[in-house]
Amino acid sequence: MIDFELSEEQRLIQATARDFAREVLQPQARNRDRDQLFPAAELRRLAALGLLGVNVPQSLGGSEAGAVAYALAMMELASGCAATTVAVAVTNMVSEIIVKYGSEAQQHEHVPRLQNGEHVCGAFALSEPHTGSDAAALKTSAARVGDGWIVNGSKQWITSGDHSGVLVVWARTSPAGGARGLSAFLVKAGTPGLFIGKHEDKMGLRGSTTVPLTFEDMKLPADALLGREGDGFKIAMEALDGGRIGVASQAYGIGRAALQAATSYARERKAFGNPLAEFQAIQWMLADSATELEAARLLVLRGAWLKEHGQPFTREASMGKVYASEAAWRACDRALQIHGGNGYVREYDVERHLRDVRVTRIYEGTSEVQRIVIARTLLREFGIQ
């Protein structure tokens, strides 16, 4: 049976996110981008609406509406302000990690605070200056000292790293090379030995912050370990599978905003005596964007549905991420082209959409990494690896 209908709860979450995006996020998006304003107040309001924990159990303060509802909410929010949604996506990922791997004490200490805005947001500290795609090559170390840990090393590209009440930090706990020697830790903001560097001056998502982190003899208690020692890589990969659905949804939302802008511009703007929308060249661009975005939406929701139903979804999450981010990029590029010279200036939103969407082909695993993941699952399925 295939059912494309949304449940009442999914429709309600989607409508709540759509209204918030239209009424609160979208009107501020241009200024947020221009002045690099972090959306702290908006995150608190999203927390109050239950939109920071759409896929988090109610017992821990979430809305418990599932992975499909989460994807739908992300799509709506991203069409209003993409910079705000990256903080939402990472917060959701951190909450899901703690729900899945945290001890009861860790869950009760952090997950409700991530939902109610007390932590503002969460951060995911995996990448390092020398390695992003090859996550298993990270060098930050955590050594057992007494009944705790001492962490040394550095991280790069950490979304909201300067605003988060709690960070998940990956470190090498065994000299064994590669994926097996990694563990994950929960680090509270303000922990002595944690230093936050300068904001990156980014091309897009300028309202979100991205910072490097340094750990200098950062002491962590024994109970900062998340899951079991040595499970870090698996925790990261599982979290990224879910995170990729969030970023794919974000990409779709940006692409849809660009398509809407292009469609209304094409109806208003005249050339050679007629609205642009009457020219077939323009209609084909709009049609291609609409078709590709719809295909992206279905692929992303299918990954979310598999996740929600406890089925393997690694491949579908990667397919959704690579397809949605590339389709949305093309939709933004066409929207800019339809705007002509007006598309190239800050007075219109499409140049921001193009800048914002570009990173969705890079973070949470580049398009190339997604293709590796997809190909490996295929090769395994056909008994080749």
The residues annotated with a catalytic role in the active site are: 364
When asked if residue 124 is in the footprint of ligand CAA (CB under 6 A), the reply is yes
Q: Shortest CA distance to 70 belongs to which of 125, 1, 16, 124?
A: 16
> Among residues 215, 233, 329, 348, which is the contact residue for ligand CAA, using CB under 6 A?
233
Q: Taking the CA atoms of the chain, what radius of gyration do you get in angstroms?
A: 21
> Among residues 193, 372, 375, 377, which is the contact residue for ligand CAA, using CB under 6 A?
372
> Length of the chain, please?
385
When asked if residue 90 is in the footprint of ligand CAA (CB under 6 A), the reply is yes
When asked if residue 164 is in the footprint of ligand CAA (CB under 6 A), the reply is no
The smaller minimum CB distance to ligand CAA, of residues 14 and 91, is found at: 91
When asked if residue 49 is in the footprint of ligand CAA (CB under 6 A), the reply is no
When asked if residue 238 is in the footprint of ligand CAA (CB under 6 A), the reply is yes
Distance CA 17, CA 14 (A): 5
The residue with its CB nearest to ligand CAA is 365
User: Would you state the structure tokens that stand for residue 288, as one six-digit string?
Assistant: 């291609």
Q: Which amino acid is at 357?
A: V
**What's the number of CA atoms in the CB half-sphere (13 Å) around residue 255?**
31
**Smallest separation, CB 306 to ligand CAA (Å):** 13
First to last CA, the chain: 33
SS3 91: helix
User: Would you state the structure tokens that stand for residue 286, as one six-digit string?
Assistant: 């709009």
The smaller minimum CB distance to ligand CAA, of residues 255 and 343, is found at: 255
When asked if residue 299 is in the footprint of ligand CAA (CB under 6 A), the reply is no
Measure the CA dihedral 30/34/36/40, to 10°.
-30
Residues 43/121, Cβ–Cβ less than 8 Å: yes
The contact pattern for ligand CAA, residues 166-205, with x = CB under 6 A and - = no contact, is -------------x--------------------------
The smaller minimum CB distance to ligand CAA, of residues 95 and 314, is found at: 314
When asked if residue 241 is in the footprint of ligand CAA (CB under 6 A), the reply is yes
Cα→Cα distances 347→3, 271, 350, Å: 42, 20, 9
Residues 310-369 that bind ligand CAA (CB under 6 A): 314, 363-365, 369
Continuous segment of H or E residues that includes residue 364: none
> Among residues 18, 44, 45, 234, which is the contact residue for ligand CAA, using CB under 6 A?
234
**Smallest separation, CB 243 to ligand CAA (Å):** 6
Helices marked H in the chain — which ranges? 8-20, 26-35, 40-48, 67-80, 82-101, 104-116, 232-268, 280-308, 314-339, 350-358, 367-381
When asked if residue 127 is in the footprint of ligand CAA (CB under 6 A), the reply is yes
**Smallest separation, CB 127 to ligand CAA (Å):** 5
Instruction: Give the residues lining the site for ligand CAA (CB under 6 A).
Output: 86, 90, 124, 126-127, 132-136, 159, 179, 233-234, 237-238, 240-241, 314, 363-365, 369, 372-373
